[in-house]
Amino acid sequence: MSALIIPCYIKSQWDIECLNRLLDSVQKQSQAFEKVFVVDDASPLRYSVTHSFVDLLVVPNNAGPASARNIGINKALSLGINHLLFTDHDCILDSRWNECMTYFLDQTNFAAVGGMTYSWGKTLLDYYHDINGTLAGKWLLPDKKELWYMPSLNFGMKAFAAEEFPFDERFPTAAGEDVDLCLRLRSKYKIGFCPEAKLWHDYGYKNSITGFRKFMELFKKYKSSSATVYEGHTVLMWDSSESIYKGNMHEPHLQD
């Protein structure tokens, strides 16, 4: 049994199109989700969700994606769901994503899992993200048998891990909260990597020139949050890691 949790903050028509595109891909899964929670984080734009399988949870005041995901986690845990999977509204799932993530969590001792993330667009900036592994998670070195961290857009946890390690709601934006969660989670459990669980992330670049500013803003947002994470975490933050990309996604003895 798995539930999909999607935090949403819809502020433009593009966001609505992204969400519908994601829900279309959710509908085409080879293995259906038991529950799909869209948690609306007090979006400024009104919209309706036409996909009947969605449970739309609307939060009255904006509190950030960490808080929105925790609302989904609590809901899923109260229903006795075994596996909690997370993605973002600007992603598109491969048709076997749920099947692969759930199978991985069922068959291994890892308490959490990350999948393989590719860029949706075709610009130079998208290509950069693909080989840089910007949102593809990081191997824990030197063994590359588990992950240092996995972004929350392609992430899953077993129920007991989600219950023990919810997202820290003091992170106000979609930056750093997933690193913080992985660091806390890794103090007790391991995060595995499932390269077969593929999804695509749409960075929203129309072309490389006009998208350049967005590219800068993205890294500024991510890197500014890293200071908050560094200040809080005393250990594990310093473990060596390497970002995942297509060229190193298959490692020998991955599931030992």
Positions in the binding site for other proteins (CB under 8 A)? 124-125, 127-128, 131-132, 168, 170, 180, 183-184, 186-188, 215-216, 219-220, 223-224, 226-228, 230-239, 242, 245, 247
Interstrand relation of 2-8 and 35-40 (parallel, antiparallel or unpaired): parallel
Nearer Cβ to other proteins (83/184): 184
Beta carbon of residue 201, minimum distance to other proteins (angstroms, whole number) = 17
Q: Closest CB to other proteins among 17 and 217?
A: 217
Residue 30: phi, psi to the nearest 5? -65, -25
Contact 122, 228 (CB under 8 A): no
CB of 103 to other proteins, least distance (A): 29
Rounded CA Rg of the chain: 17
For residues 103 and 245, which CB has a smaller minimum distance to other proteins in the complex? 245
Closest CA to 86 of 192, 8, 184: 8
Closer to other proteins by CB, 55 or 168: give it: 168
Rounded-to-integer distance, Cα 202 and Cα 18, Å: 8
| Tokens found for residue 162 | 């989600």
As measured in angstroms, the least distance from the Cβ of 230 to other proteins is 4
Q: How far is the CB of 169 from other proteins (least distance, A)?
A: 10
